[in-house]
Structure 1
Amino acid sequence: MKHLLPASSMTDYHQGYPDAQPVRNPPVLSALGLVLMFIFLVWQAAVWTERYELQQLHNQASHELTLNIANLRGKLDKYEYLPELLATKQELAAYLLNITPLSTLRLNSTLKTYQQITRVSDIYLLNTDGTTVAASNWQSPRSFIGKNFSFRPYYRDAIQGQKGRFYGLGTTSGERGYYYSYPVFAGQSVIGILVVKIVIDDLEIPWQDPDTEFVVSDPDSVIFISSNQHWLLRSLHPLPEKDRVRINSSRRYGDRQIETLPYQTIDELNPDTWLVRIAPDNPDNAARINRYLQTSLPMPDAGWRVHILKNTRKVRTEILKNCLLTAGIYLVVVLLSMYSVQRQRIQRERIRHDRETQKALEVNEARIRAILDNTQAGIMTMDRLGKIDYINPSAERLFGYQLHELHGQNFNELILEQDRNIGVQALEKANSVAVEIRGVRKDYLPVPVEMVVSMMSRGQQTDYMVTLHDITERKQHEEALQAAYDQMESRVVERTQDLTEANTRLTEEINQHRHTTETLQKTQDELIQAAKLAVLGQMSASINHELNQPIAAIRAYAENGVTFLTRDNQEMAQVNLEQIVELTDRMASISAQLKLFARKSGGELTLISPKATIDYALRLFKPQLEKDAIEFNLQLTDQECYVRADAVRLEQVIVNLISNALHAISHRSTRQVQIAMSLHTAEVASPHDTIIRDELWIEVSDSGPGIAEQHIGQIFNPFFSTRDEGKGLGLGLSISYRIISDFGGTIKAFNRPEGGATLRVILPLAAGEQD
C-alpha cells in the first residue's frame, strides 16, 4: 500500500473534511426589486402605448370626420336651391290660383319631369292648408295627392314665407328622407308651398372599414344615419318623456318607438372626443362589448351632429405587443446580467472547489489506508504480471507471511497447485465475481479461501486488487448442511408420492369444474339468443306490415313502368324505377336491423356509446310504436359518455326492457313508454372502503298496471313470470340482470307514483372516457 498512498497522508487522516461554505441564495429584496421594476416598465409601456395610439386614432378620426361632414354638406347644399328655383316659375302660381283637372294633370307631369332630371325622390306642391294638390309620384300607389302635411315643420316655416328644412321618416313611404320647402308667392301673399324630398340612403357614405362606424344624430341624440344598420333610429341617451311627446307630435319618426342604444361613456379625452362602450344587440355576442374612440362635430345647417367611432381593438393589440416587447427586452437584460454574475461566481466556486478537492483527496487516501489496514478481509495488490506489491495485516495472518517476504513474488505461489488454473482465469477476467480456491499457508497447510479480483487504477496504469476471505468455518457448516440435506431429501422422496396422487385428484376436479362452467356459459348464451329470436317473433307482424307496403308499392310502380315504356314515355318510366329502388333500399334497411339484432355476441367488453345502443334497439320497435299509436318519450343526455360493456348483450337488455314495457301497456287505455338516460355520482361499497364513482342510469318506464309489491323482489329470479301461462318463460329479466352484473352494474325495479313501473339499469361510466 506504500505504492498507493503518499506517506504524508496519514498525518491528515484525523483532520476530517473541510467545512463546505453555504451557498448563498439571491436576496429576497433583490428579487422583489426586479419584479417591481418589471411591473413598472410594463405598466409604463402600456400607458405610453395607449396614449400614443389613442392620439393617432383621434387624428385619423378627426380627418375622416372633417371629410365626411364636407361630403354631407356638399350633398345637402346640392339640392338647397332647387325648391326656390322651381317655386319662382309662374306656372305654379297660375295653377294655384286656378286649379282644374287638366292643369293638375299637366303640373303632375311637369313635376315628374323635374324629379327625373334632378334625380330627387319626390317633388310635390301643397296648398295653404298643407294638402298636396300636385306631386311627381301622382301615378304611384303611395302618391302624396290629397295627403295633408301641415303637421310638418317644413310646412310651418314655408307658410311664413321662409325656407324650410326637415328630416324624418316619411309618413307614406316609411323611408328616411330630407325635405326642402319654399313658399309660392302671388304678389306678397303665400299661396302654396313646393317641397323637394331626397332619400337619406343617397346621402349615406359606403363604409368599408370594419373598425370604424359613422353616425349622424339629431339634437335629441337619435341616430338618423349610421353605417351600422342596427343602430338606426335609436337614441344615444335615454329620452325624457317631454322630448318623446314632442318627437311623436311632429311625427318625425312616424309611430316608431325610440329605443336606447346600450351606450356608455368611459372617459372624456377632450370636449369632442370620448372613450365609449357599446354592447352588441345580438344575444349570442352579449359578452363581446366593443370599445370605441368617439369624435363628434356639429353640423348646424342640417341640425345634426356627426360622429366617428373608431374601434380600439387595435389599440389593445398594440399595447399587448409593446408590453410583450418591453417584457422581452427586460428579461433579456436581466438574464444577461444574471448570466454574467453567475459566470463570475462559478469561476470563484471552481477555484475554491479545486482547492478543497485536493485537500479532500489527501484526507481520503489516509482514510482508505486506515480502512485497509484495519479490515477483517485480506487485501492484496499486484501488477498485471501477478507480482505482489502490497498485502494488508489480515492477508499476512491468513497466509502466515509478512509483506517483505511476499513483495515481488507471484500470486500463484500462494494457491494450491490443483486450483491454480482457477486463480489464473479469475485474474484474466477480473470481473469482481467471487471464486473459491485453496491457498497454501507458510506452514504448507491448505486453507479454503474466497477470492474476488477487480481492477484498480493507479495513475496511468491499471493493476489488480484481490480481496480474500477465510471460509474454513463456512466450509465446515456447508458439510454439516449437506449431510442434513441428504437426510431431508430421503424424507421428501417418501412424501412426494402421496402429494402427487392428491394433485392428480385435484386436477381432475378442476377440469370437471371448468367443463361445468363452460357448459353454463354456453347455455346462457343460447338462452340470450333464444330470447332475442322470441322478440323477433313478437315483432314479425309489424315487420311483415312494414314489408308488405313497399312490396305492394313496388308492384304498382313496376306495372306503371311497363305502361310508360309501352307508351314510349321513358322519363315517367325512369321515375317509377327510381321509386322502386328507393323502396328496395327501405326494405333492405328493415332487414338489416333484424340481422344486426339477431347476431351473436363476441363476449368481449369494449368502450361503447349507450346512445347508439338505445338507437339500435329503438329501430326494431319503430314499426310497432307507429302501428299501435304508442306515445313514446326519449330523454338523452347532452353530454357524450361511454361504458365498458358488450354492445350486443347491452342491446339485448334494452330490447327486453322495451318489450316488457310494451306488453305491460298492451291492454291499457293510456299507452305511454319513456326511456330516460342520466348521469349520477354515487357511493359504492368496496371490500376495503367506500368509493365514489360516476354512474349512467337508463330508465325504461311505462303506464301499465305496475308490479305487485309481493313480486318486486322475485322478478329477476329465473322462470318467474307474471304473464299468462304459456306466454313467457320468465327468463328475460333474469338474463338481463346477469348481463348487467357482468358489466359491473345492476338493475332495479320500482313502481311510479303516477302509475306504471320503471326498470333502472345502473352502469359505471368508463374511467377517463366521459367528456
Structure 2
Amino acid sequence: MIVIALIAAIALVTYKQVLETGLGQLTRTSRQRLDFLTAVTGQTLEKYESMPYVLSQQGSLVDLLEHPGDGARTQSVNAYLKRVQEKTEPLVVYLLDHRGRALASSNSTEPGSFVGHDYSFRPYFIDAMQGRAGRFYGVGTTTAEPGYFLSYPLYAHDAGQSTTSKAAAVPIGVVVVKINLGDLEKAWSDGADEVALADADGVVFLSSNSMWRYRTLRPLAPDVQKALLQTRQYGDAALARLPMRASKPLGSSASASAPPKDLVYIAGDNGTSPLLMQTSDVGPLSWKLLTFSKTEATFAGARNVAIATGSASALVTLLTYTLWLRRRRMQERQAARVELQRINDELEMRIADRTQVLVDANASMERKLSELSEAERVLRATQDQAIQAGKLAVLGQMSAGIAHEIAQPLTAMRILSENAQKLLSAQEVGEATDNMIEIGSLCRKAGSIVSQLKGFAQKSAETFDPVLVDRVVSDAVTLVRREGESAGIEFDVVPPVRPIWVLGNDVRLEQVLINLLRNAIDATKSSPLRRVSVCFSLEPQHVILRVRDTGTGITAPALQRLFEPFFSTKTPGAGLGLGLAISASIVQGMRGELRAQNHSEGGAVFTLTLPLAPSDRDEETT
C-alpha cells in the first residue's frame, strides 16, 4: 500500500507540474492572440472614426438642415450619402435634424429607409446634440440589424469656424454612420478559441458562438436594465446571464507558470475541461474583448504524462522487487535443497517401516470391504422385500375398490350376453352385434384393470429407465379413484403442458404415488371440503409433483418424524407406518427428493422432485 501511495503521489505531483506549465504556455499563447484581436478590432473601429466629422464639413448637409423642406436639396443629399456609402462601405449613412428625425439617408430608395424615422432617443444623437462625437452599438430599430453608430454634430453656416464659436453654438443636426462589425465575428469563427465582445455593462453583443450573443457576463443593475430598455440598444433580447461559473483553483504558486485563475465552465459547452478566459479593453466605449481557450488538450497531456510517469515508476518498482524476489528465491532454493536431502534420508527409513503397516492394513480393509458388500446385498434384498410387502399391503387395502371396479364390467357383460341371446333368437342380428362389441370393450376395460394390478403387484428390478411420469400418475389415480370417490372425494389432476420423462422405475414410482394418494384420501375423509389435487411443475433439470389434500394438515411434531419407519398418525391397526418411509427410500434411490409441509390455505402438500431423463433435458434446452 505504501508503494502504491508513493507512485500515486509521484503521478499527482507530475500531473500538477505539467498542467501548470501547459496552462502557463496556453495563457501566453492565448494572450498573444488576444492582443492581436484587440489590435484588429481597434483598427476596425478607428477606420470610420473620422468619417462623421468629415461629413459634417459638407455644406450641402447644412443647407438641407437649414432648408428641410427643399425637395431638390433632399434629393441631392440622398444621392451624395448613397455615393459615400458605396465607396466607404458602411451599412448606412444618414442625416438627422435637431429633433432626431432623419431628413436624408443613403438607403432612402430602399425598403426600410431611415428617412422620416425618429431617433432622438438614441444615445449617439443625444451625445452629438451636446456638441461631442457620439459612439453607440445597438440593434437598429428600423432594420433590426445590429451595428456600430458614429455621430457628429452639424452647425449652421453663421455659427463660425472657430472651436470657441462652435462650442457656444447649438447644433442644428447630426450626421450618423452605421458600421457593420459582422466581419469580425466571421474572422473569430475561424480560430480555435471562442471570442466575445462585451460592452461596459457586461452584455455580449458580438461572439464567435452565436448562442452567447446578447447574454450578460454578470447580473445587470436595475438602472442599467432601465437605460437599455429606454434606448432599445439590443431590441427585444432577454439579456439572460451567460451560464458561466468559475473553476476550482488548480494551484497556489505565484510563479509565471502557475495556472491562471480565469478558468471557467460554461453550461452547454461539450468539453469536460474548463475554458481559459482572458480579457482586454478595446475601443473608446470601455468594451471588453474576451477569449475562451479550450484546455482539453492541456489537461489530456498532463494526464498522459502523469500516467506515463506513474507507469514508469511502477515498472521500476516492479523490476526492483522482481530482482529482490529472484535473489531471495535462489537463497531459499539452496536452503530447500539441503533440507530436502535430509528429509529424503529420513523418509526412506520411514517408508520401510510404513510399508509393512500398509500391507497389514490393506489386507484388513479387503476383509472389511467384503463384509460391507455382503451387508449391502442383504440390505438391498431386505429393502426390495419391504417394498414388495408394502405394495401387497396396499393391494389388500384396495381390494374392495378393485373388486368393485372389476365387478361392474362383469355384471354388464352378463346382462349384455343375455340380451344378445334373446336378440339372436329374435333375428335382431344388428343389435346383437352391438352388444357383442360392448362386451368386448368391457373385457378390455377389465383386462386393463387386471394388467395395472399385475404390473403394480409384480416385483420390479432396481433399474433406471426413462419413465413417462404423467402416465404413471394417471395409472396411480385410476387404482385409487374408486376408494376416494366412495368417500366423496374429488380428484383434481392438472396434466403437464407436454409429456415428461424422468429417469427411474415406473412400478416403484407408481407405488410412491399410490401411497401419497391413499394418505391424502385418509386425511380428507373427515373434512368439509374433500379434494385431492395433483399438479406438475417443470424445471430445467427436474420435474416437481405436488399432491395436496384439504385435510387438517400435519402437526409440527409429526412433520419431524413423518418419514421414520413404523411412525404413523393413523389409528392403531390402520397402518404399519412404513408407507412414507418406503416411499422416501424409493425416491432417494431414483436420485430424487420427497418432502412434506402444510399448505397456507389448509391441508398438507407432499412434494416429489425427480430428475428429468437426459433426452427430456435436451428437448427442454432446445
Q: TM-score range by the shorter chain?
A: 0.5 to 0.7
CA distance in structure 2 between the partners assigned to 1:509 and 1:156 by the alignment: 104
Tell whether 2:242 aligns with 1:242.
no
Instruction: State the partner residue of 2:197.
Output: 216
CA distance in structure 1 between the partners assigned to 2:18 and 2:274 by the alignment: 17
Instruction: State the partner residue of 1:329.
Output: 312
Native 8 Å contact 2:277 2:293 kept in 1 = yes
Deviation at 1:207, TM superposition (A): 3.6
Which residue, out of 278, 292, 295, partners 2:265?
A: 278
CA offsets per residue over residues 94-144 of structure 1, 9 Å max, x none? 222223122212221221222122221111001122211101122233221
Which residue, out of 226, 236, 245, partners 2:207?
A: 226
Which residue, out of 109, 120, 123, partners 1:150?
A: 120
Aligned to 1:225, the other structure's residue is in SS state: strand
CA offsets per residue over residues 582-607 of structure 1, 9 Å max, x none? xxxxxxxxxxxxxxxxxxxxx789xx
Summarize the Cα distance change of 1:340–1:109 in structure 2 as closer, same or farther, 3 Å threshold: same
Moved more, 262-271 or 368-377: 262-271
Tell whether 2:7 aligns with 1:38.
yes
Tell whether 2:339 aligns with 1:356.
yes
Q: Structure with the greater relative contact order (CA < 8 A, sep ≥ 6): 1 or 2?
A: 2
Q: TM-score, normalised by structure 2?
A: 0.56
Instruction: State the partner residue of 1:92.
Output: 61
Summarize the Cα distance change of 1:82–1:687 in structure 2 as closer, same or farther, 3 Å threshold: farther
Aligned to 1:139, the other structure's residue is in SS state: coil
CA distance in structure 2 between the partners assigned to 1:472 and 1:184 by the alignment: 135
Instruction: State the partner residue of 1:57.
Output: 26
CA distance in structure 1 between the partners assigned to 2:195 and 2:296 by the alignment: 17
Tell whether 2:129 aligns with 1:159.
yes
Counterpart AA for 2:74: T
Native 8 Å contact 1:275 1:291 kept in 2 = no
Aligned to 1:264, the other structure's residue is in SS state: strand
Structure 1: stretches of 5+ with no match in the other structure? 1-30, 379-466, 518-602, 606-643, 646-685, 691-771
Deviation at 1:153, TM superposition (A): 2.3
Tell whether 2:284 aligns with 1:314.
no
Which residue, out of 305, 328, 352, partners 2:288?
A: 305
CA offsets per residue over residues 251-298 of structure 1, 9 Å max, x none? 32234332211222335989996434334259xx8xx77621111111
Summarize the Cα distance change of 1:241–1:347 in structure 2 as closer, same or farther, 3 Å threshold: same
Deviation at 1:366, TM superposition (A): 0.9
Deviation at 1:76, TM superposition (A): 1.6
Deviation at 1:209, TM superposition (A): 6.3
Aligned to 1:204, the other structure's residue is in SS state: helix
Aligned to 1:354, the other structure's residue is in SS state: helix
Alignment map for 1:556-571 (pairs within 5 Å): none
Aligned to 1:259, the other structure's residue is in SS state: coil
Summarize the Cα distance change of 1:472–1:223 in structure 2 as closer, same or farther, 3 Å threshold: closer
Structure 2: stretches of 5+ with no match in the other structure? 161-168, 396-450, 459-467, 478-496, 500-537, 540-594, 600-622
Deviation at 1:62, TM superposition (A): 0.6
Native 8 Å contact 1:278 1:291 kept in 2 = yes
CA distance in structure 2 between the partners assigned to 1:277 and 1:192 by the alignment: 47
CA distance in structure 1 between the partners assigned to 2:298 and 2:103 by the alignment: 57
Counterpart AA for 1:237: R
CA distance in structure 2 between the partners assigned to 1:164 and 1:474 by the alignment: 119
Counterpart AA for 1:177: G
Instruction: State the partner residue of 1:184.
Output: 154
Deviation at 1:242, TM superposition (A): 2.1
| Superposed CA RMSD | 4.5
Which residue, out of 182, 186, 189, partners 1:201?
A: 182
Which residue, out of 263, 277, 296, partners 2:279?
A: 296
Alignment map for 1:288-687 (pairs within 5 Å): 291-375=274-358, 377=360, 502-504=453-455
Aligned to 2:331, the other structure's residue is in SS state: helix
Tell whether 2:131 aligns with 1:131.
no
Counterpart AA for 1:277: V
Deviation at 1:176, TM superposition (A): 1.7
Native 8 Å contact 1:273 1:296 kept in 2 = no
CA offsets per residue over residues 348-394 of structure 1, 9 Å max, x none? 1100110110000011111111223455539xxxxxxxxxxxxxxxx
Native 8 Å contact 1:158 1:182 kept in 2 = yes
CA distance in structure 1 between the partners assigned to 2:469 and 2:184 by the alignment: 101
Moved more, 314-323 or 334-343: 314-323
Summarize the Cα distance change of 1:227–1:274 in structure 2 as closer, same or farther, 3 Å threshold: farther
Deviation at 1:173, TM superposition (A): 2.0
Summarize the Cα distance change of 1:272–1:604 in structure 2 as closer, same or farther, 3 Å threshold: same
Native 8 Å contact 2:272 2:296 kept in 1 = no
Native 8 Å contact 1:274 1:295 kept in 2 = no
Native 8 Å contact 1:277 1:289 kept in 2 = no
Deviation at 1:69, TM superposition (A): 1.1
Tell whether 2:29 aligns with 1:78.
no
Deviation at 1:332, TM superposition (A): 0.2
Aligned to 1:321, the other structure's residue is in SS state: helix
Tell whether 2:16 aligns with 1:47.
yes
Counterpart AA for 1:159: M
Native 8 Å contact 1:279 1:290 kept in 2 = no
CA distance in structure 2 between the partners assigned to 1:277 and 1:43 by the alignment: 22
CA offsets per residue over residues 654-680 of structure 1, 9 Å max, x none? xxxxxxxxxxxxxxxxxxxxxxxxxxx
Counterpart AA for 1:243: V
Counterpart AA for 2:308: L
Native 8 Å contact 1:280 1:290 kept in 2 = no
Aligned to 1:377, the other structure's residue is in SS state: helix
Aligned to 1:138, the other structure's residue is in SS state: coil
Instruction: State the partner residue of 1:169.
Output: 139
Native 8 Å contact 1:279 1:289 kept in 2 = no
Native 8 Å contact 1:292 1:311 kept in 2 = yes
Native 8 Å contact 2:200 2:285 kept in 1 = no
**What percentage of aligned pairs have identical amino acids?**
26
Instruction: State the partner residue of 1:697.
Output: none
Native 8 Å contact 2:23 2:259 kept in 1 = no
CA distance in structure 2 between the partners assigned to 1:80 and 1:370 by the alignment: 118
Which residue, out of 231, 242, 250, partners 1:261?
A: 242
Native 8 Å contact 2:262 2:278 kept in 1 = no
Counterpart AA for 1:235: T
Native 8 Å contact 1:165 1:180 kept in 2 = yes
Counterpart AA for 1:130: G
Deviation at 1:85, TM superposition (A): 2.2
Instruction: State the partner residue of 1:141.
Output: 111
Moved more, 501-510 or 220-229: 501-510
CA distance in structure 2 between the partners assigned to 1:40 and 1:154 by the alignment: 61
Deviation at 1:199, TM superposition (A): 2.1
Native 8 Å contact 2:216 2:239 kept in 1 = yes
